[in-house]
Amino acid sequence: MHPNAGGYQKMADVWFRALQSVPGSVGDSAPPTSAPTTTPPTTGGNCTATITPGTVWGDRYNTSVTVTGSDTWTVVIAITSPQKVSTTWSGTFSWSGGGYTMTVKPNGSGNTFGFTTMTNGNTTARPRVTSCTTG
C-alpha cells in the first residue's frame, strides 16, 4: 500500500525530527507545513500549476508541482540564484537562463512532478511557477 501526500508529509516530519537529534545530519530548518502564500497557483490556457513544499534539509529541499486542467501542459518555473536543481522526477525537464528557468512537460507519469533544489547558501528563496500552458 502506498501512502498519499499526507502520509508522505507525516513520514517526512517524523524522520526529520529523528535526524535532528543526530549532530550534522540536517540543518536547523523545519519542514514546511503548507504551501507558501507568496506562490499562488498560476493558470493559463485551462491549466493550473500548484507548488507544494516538501522535505527540507540543511543544504537542499524538495518541491512537488501538481498540474490540473489538462494532460498536455507545459510549466515554466523560475529558480532563484545561486540555487540549482539537482534531481528531478515524473516529468520531462529542460533548462534555460543559465539554469534558472526550468521548463517541464508531462512524461506519462501523471500530472505531478517534483525536484530537489540545492540552496547553495540561499535558504530563503523558493521556486516560482511563472506559467502553465496547455497544448
- Complete DSSP assignment for the chain: ----HHHHHHHHHHHHHHHHTSTTSS-SPPPP-S--TT---EE-SS-EEEEEEEEE-SSEEEEEEEEES-SSEEEEEE--TT-EEEEEESSEEEEEGGGTEEEEE--SS-SEEEEEEE-TT--S---EEEEEEE-
Q: What is the CATH number of domain 41-134?
A: 2.60.40.290
- pLDDT tens, position by position, 68-124: 999 999 999 999 999 999 999 999 999 999 999 999 999 999 999 999 999 999 999
- What percent of the chain has a predicted confidence (pLDDT) above 90? 61
For the chain, what are the domain ranges? 41-134
* Residue 46, pLDDT score: 76
Q: Yes or no: say if 116 and 87 are a contact pair by the CB < 8 Å rule.
A: yes
